[in-house]
A and B are shown apart, each in its own frame.
Chain A
Amino acid sequence: MRHRREAGWIRGLCLGGLLALAGCASHASTMHDVRAALRHHDLEEARARLAEAGRGTDDLLFALEDGLLLYYAGDPELSNDRFEFAERRVDDLYTESITRAVLSLVSSDLVLRFEPRGIENFLVNYYRAFNYLELGEPEEAWVEWRKLGWKLQFSREQGDALYLDPPFFSYVAGLGLEADDPNDAYIAFRRAEASYRERGAGAPPPELIDDLIRLAHDLGFSDHLELYLTCYGERAAALDQALVSAGGRAARADWGELVVFVEDGLVAPIEEVQVQLPITRGRAELVASGGEGAHLDLAAILAREYAEGRFAGIEPRYARRRGIAYLMPISLPVFGLGQAAFGRVAAVVGNDTAAAWPALQVSALQQLAFQDRLLGIYAKTIARALVKYAAAAKLREEAEEEGGETAGDVVGILANLVNVITERADTRAWLGLPHRIWMARLRVPPGRREVRLLFDGREAVTLGEVEVTPGDRQLLSYRVF
C-alpha cells in the first residue's frame, strides 16, 4: 500500500517536472533564432520566428519582444498595443502568485512570471514615445516621457545603483518634454545632471549643461544659473553671455535641432551553466537530518562560497579524495556578452557633423542589475537543489526498504532525473534590445535636410529627409543590428 503511494508520488514528481517545463520552451533558444534573423536585418523572419514560438507562459515577455520588432518594422500602432499590454501586466505583477512561488521552490524559477528587470521598464516608455512621434501624436509622446519621469522617480528611491536611475532617460525625457512644458523639461534635465554626478555615470554631456543654462535663464531661476556657472565654468559662462545678447537669442530661435539616436548591436543574453557543487560528508549529514532552516543556512553558505569562486575546477576524482559525499548538479544563470555592431558613429546634415557618444550602455546596466541579485539566485537555487536531493534520497531509501535494492535504484534514478530536468536557470530577458544607444545632437538651419550616419567599418546610411522648422526639435532613431 505504502509502495503504491510512493509510486504515485514519483508520478506526481514527474508530472510536476513536466508541467514546470511545459511552458518554458526556452525563451533564450527562441530568441537565438530571432536574433540571428535580426543580424541579417530580416525583421519579417524575426517576427515569424517569435510568433512560431508563441507566447508560452510569458505573455509579457512576448509582448515586449514583439512590440520592439513591430517598432522596427514600422508598425507603431500595433507596437504600442503590445507595449501597453506589457505595462498593464507589469502592474499586475505586484500580486505574487503563491502557486507559482511554491512551485518555484521545487522546480525552477522559470515557473515564476517574467518580470522586467534593470532598465527594461524604462525602455518600454522610450519606445512608446518614439512610436507616438512616428504616428504624429506628440501629445501622446509627452505622456510617455512623463510616465518615464515618474517611473524614474519611484525607482530612484529604491537605491543608489546606476541602473535604477540612468541619467540617459531623464535627459531624453527632458528633450521630449520641452515642447510641452519647459519647466517639466528643466526638472528632467536637473535630474539627469544629478544622476550623472551622484551615480557614477561620468561627466554630464556638455549639451545637457547648455540645456540647463538656457532653461534656467529663460525661466528666471537665477540662483540655479549661478550654481551651474560656478560648477561648469567657462563653457557655461560663454553660453550665458550668448543668451543675453539679442543676436544669440535670435540665432537660437531661427534654427532647428535634430537629436539622433543610433541603437547598436544586441544586448548581452543571460546564459545557463551547469555547475557541480561539492557537498562534504558533514554537510550531507546536515542535509539528511536537519530541518528546512538548516537547508537555508547551508544554501546561504554554499552560495557565498560559490560566489567567491571556491569550487572552481572541482572534478569527481578530486572530490573522492577530499571526502566529498556527492557533487550536486545545479544550473545557474551567467551574464553573457553583448554584441556591438560598430565602434563609432557620427550624424551628418549638410556640412555639419556631430560625433555621437554612447549615451546608454544597455548591456552594462543590465549586467549591474543582474549582479545585484546574483547572490539571491545562488542561495535560492542551492536551497532548492538541497531540498530536492534530500527528497530523492528519502524516496530511494523507502523504495529500497519495501522493494529491495533494484526498486530503490530505479526510484532513485527517476527522482534524480526529475530533479535534473526541472532544475533550469532563469535566463529570461528582453533580448531584442540593443547593446547600447548612441546619441548625437545637431543644430541645423530650417528647410528640408538629409540626415546621414557615418560609421567606422560600415557603410554610411541615409535616414532620409526631414523638414526642419525654426525653434523645433526632432528626435530620430535608427537601429543597426
Chain B
Amino acid sequence: MQRSALSVMRAVLLLIFFISLSSGCGKRVRRIDPGTTTDLSGYWNDTDSRLVAEGMMADCLTHPWIQQHVMRTEARPVVIIGTVRNQSMEHIATGTFIRDLERAFVNSGQVRVVANPLEREELRGERYDQQEWASEETRKRLREETGADYMLNGAIDVIIDREGGREVKFYQVDLFLTDIETNERIWIGQTKIKKEISRSGLGL
C-alpha cells in the first residue's frame, strides 16, 4: 500500500513537471481571413451572422416580389431594415447581422435601402443644421426623404438541449418583409443552424 502511495506521489510530481513545461507557452496572434469559418465557443458568431445573412438575402432577392413590384410601379422597391429581435439566451450583436442584410440588399442593385429610424434622426438633425448654416446651392431640402415600400424585420431564437458534456444548440432566424402600406407579408425567410458542442470530461 505504501508503495502505491509513493507511486501516486511520483506521478503527481511528474505531472507538475509537465505543467511547468507547458506553462511556458506565450500569447500568439495570427491573422485569418474574415471569410474563414471559426467555431470556438459554440456561441453565435460572425460566421453565423454572415452565412445566415447571405443565404437569406439570396433567397429574398430571387423571390418574385421584386419583379412584381417593378412591374406594378416601374421602380425598384425601397426597403427599410427594422429590428431583428434577439429572443435567444445569448447576447447576439444583431447590429452586425442587420448591417450584413443591408449590404446584401444594396449590393444586389435590385433594391434601394433607406436609413433606419435611428440613423434617420441623425440625418434629419444634419439637414436642419444645413438650413441654418449651409450655402443655398449645397443645402439639402427638407421633406424630400424617400419613403420605404417595405420593412424587413425578424427574430433570432435558440433552443438548447444538454446532457452531460454534450450540448445541441438550434438557432432559428426568421425574417419577414412586409408591405408598409397594406401590412401584407410578401416574403418570409427562415434559416436554421444546429450546432453540437462536446466537452470532454477529462483534460490535463
Residues of chain A touching chain B, judged by Cβ–Cβ distance below 8 Å, are 9, 12-13, 15-16, 19, 88, 91, 94-99, 102-103, 105-106, 139-140, 143, 146-147, 150, 154, 180-181, 288-292, 294-295, 387-388, 390-391, 393-394
Contacts and interface: CB of A to CB of B under 8 A. Distances in A.
Contacts of A393: 2
Question: Which A-B residue pairs are the 6 nearest by beta carbons?
Answer: A394-B2, A391-B5, A94-B199, A95-B203, A147-B89, A146-B89
B164 to A, nearest CB: 8
A91 B9 CA distance: 30
B106 interface: no
Contact of A94 (B86, B87, B201, B204): B201
A150 B8 contact: no
A292 B1 contact: yes
B73 interface: no
Contacts of A140: 91
Contacts of B70: none
B90 interface: yes
A103 B160 contact: no
A248 to B, nearest CB: 31
Contact of A143 (B12, B86, B165): B86
Contacts of B200: 95
B88 interface: yes
B4 A19 contact: no
B118 interface: no
Grouping DSSP codes into helix (H, G, I), strand (E, B) and loop, the B interface class, with mixed when no group exceeds half, is mixed
Given A143-B86, A290-B1, A391-B2, A95 B201 contact: yes
A96 B203 contact: yes
A387 B86 contact: no
Interface residues of B, number: 32
Given A150-B160, A181-B87, A391-B6, 19 more contacts: A9-B6, A12-B10, A16-B13, A95-B165, A95-B200, A95-B203, A96-B202, A97-B203, A97-B204, A98-B202, A98-B203, A102-B11, A106-B12, A143-B88, A288-B1, A288-B2, A289-B1, A291-B4, A391-B5
Contact of B9 (A12, A19, A139): A12
A146 B199 contact: no
18 contacts: A9-B6, A16-B13, A16-B16, A91-B41, A95-B165, A98-B203, A99-B204, A102-B15, A103-B16, A143-B86, A143-B89, A147-B90, A154-B162, A288-B2, A387-B8, A388-B5, A391-B6, A393-B2
B134 interface: no
A146 B201 contact: no
Interface in B1-60: 1-2, 4-6, 8-13, 15-16, 18-19, 41
B90 A143 contact: yes
A103 B204 CA distance: 12
B17 to A, nearest CB: 10
Nearest to A128: B91
Given A13-B9, A94-B199, A292 B89 contact: no
Contacts of B2: 288, 390-391, 393-394
B44 to A, nearest CB: 11
A150 B89 contact: yes
Interface of B: 1-2, 4-6, 8-13, 15-16, 18-19, 41, 85-91, 160, 162, 165, 199-204
Q: Which of B11, B12, B162 counts the most chain A CB atoms within 10 A?
A: B12
Contacts of A154: 162
B199 to A, nearest CB: 4
Nearest to A148: B89
Nearest to A388: B5
Nearest to B160: A150
Contact of B16 (A19, A96, A98, A387): A19
A306 B83 CA distance: 61
Nearest to B15: A99
A143 B87 CA distance: 7
B9 A16 contact: yes
A304 B58 CA distance: 67
B133 to A, nearest CB: 31
B199 A106 contact: no
Nearest to B43: A88
Contacts of A16: 9, 12-13, 16
B1 A291 contact: yes
B5 A99 contact: no
A390 to B, nearest CB: 5
